[in-house]
Amino acid sequence: MAQATAVDTGDVGWSLDACDVIGYESFAMRVVAGTCRGLTIAAPPGTGTRPTPDRVRESVFNSLRSLDALDGATVVDLFAGSGALGIEALSRGAASATFVESDAGACRVISENLAKCGLAERGRVVRGDATSWRPYGSTQTGLLLADPPYAFDGWASLLADWSADWVVIESDRDIELDERWELVRSKAYGQTHVTVGRGVATTDDHPGGGT
């Protein structure tokens, strides 16, 4: 039996269109592609997590692969929820992923999902505030995934504090990127708006996915 990833407590979004999960008790998703393709993963019970539909993840991650933003990347999944975004990145070739989530129950679900997919050794779960958590040391973030609750309005502050090769934002509206990010793609999937940006300051030093 696979052993779940330990949750680090020392460091301190999503739409389903016609299948809205407000009030749901549990919801199963699948990994769309890669080494874990077809495996089901769970979402935390309750109303605090909005799992990204499979078709949205498929489109977003196909785009990231075409941009060479995944292979060998160091990924940070903020407001991680079930961990579906970071797990999809790992399945498609990212080297490692840190999942930052404030809810203890959601952290347990992420750990269980990583274990089920055989990705526990490449995933780190941090229970903490995604708006203030930052990685230690000088490790460059290759891919930053940010999918906070739709009511979140701290985008300018959040993005100004991060240095990453690529960023993927999920929201219920278009999010304007500042001069530190080059807009690469912006698309609406029903109520979900996805923005993909390239880190202007880091592109020359860390081409592609980065590590």
What domain count does the chain have? 1
Residue ranges making up the domain that contains 71? 7-199
What are 97-156's pLDDT values in tens digits?
A: 999 999 999 999 999 999 999 999 999 999 999 999 998 876 789 999 999 988 899 999
Residues in the chain: 211
Number of CB atoms found within 10 A of residue 55's CB? 12
In a domain, 207, yes or no: no
Mean local confidence (pLDDT), 4-10: 43
Q: What is the pLDDT of residue 138?
A: 63
- pLDDT for 84: 95
In sequence order, the 6+-apart residues with CB closer than 8 A to the CB of 205 are: 140
- In this prediction, residue 86 carries a pLDDT of 98
Residue 206 lies in a domain: no
Q: Could you tell me if residue 186 is inside a domain?
A: yes
Nearest to 189 by CA among 38, 24, 60, 67: 60
Residue 85, pLDDT > 60, answer yes
CA distances from 137 to 38, 40, 95, 141, 181 (A): 35, 34, 17, 11, 22
CATH value at residue 38: 3.40.50.150
Task: Tell me how far CA of residue 55 lies from CA of 44, 72, 136, in angstroms.
Answer: 20, 24, 34
The alpha-helical segments, DSSP class H, found in the chain are 54-66, 84-91, 104-116, 155-160
* Stretch 202-210: mean pLDDT: 44
Please report whether residue 165 resides in a domain.
yes
What 169-173 contacts at long range (C-beta under 8 Å, 24+ apart), as own/partner pairs, is 169/194, 169/195, 169/196, 169/197, 170/13, 170/14, 170/52, 170/146, 170/194, 171/13, 171/195, 172/15
The verdict on residue 136 lying in a domain is yes
The answer as to whether 181 is a domain residue is yes
CA angle 115, 27, 19 (to 5 degrees): 145
The C-alpha atoms of residue 150 and residue 153 are separated, in whole angstroms, by 8
> What pTM value is reported for the model?
0.82
- Maximum distance among all alpha carbons in the chain? 48
Specify the DSSP class assigned to residue 98. Answer: E
Cα 62–Cα 39–Cα 130 angle in degrees, nearest 5: 65
Of the chain, the end-to-end C-alpha distance in Å amounts to 31
Give the Cβ contact number of residue 144 at 10 Å: 22
Lowest mean pLDDT among 30-34, 173-177, 182-186, 198-202: 198-202
Q: Does residue 18 contact residue 75 with C-beta atoms inside 8 Å?
A: no
Give the chain's mean pLDDT.
Answer: 83
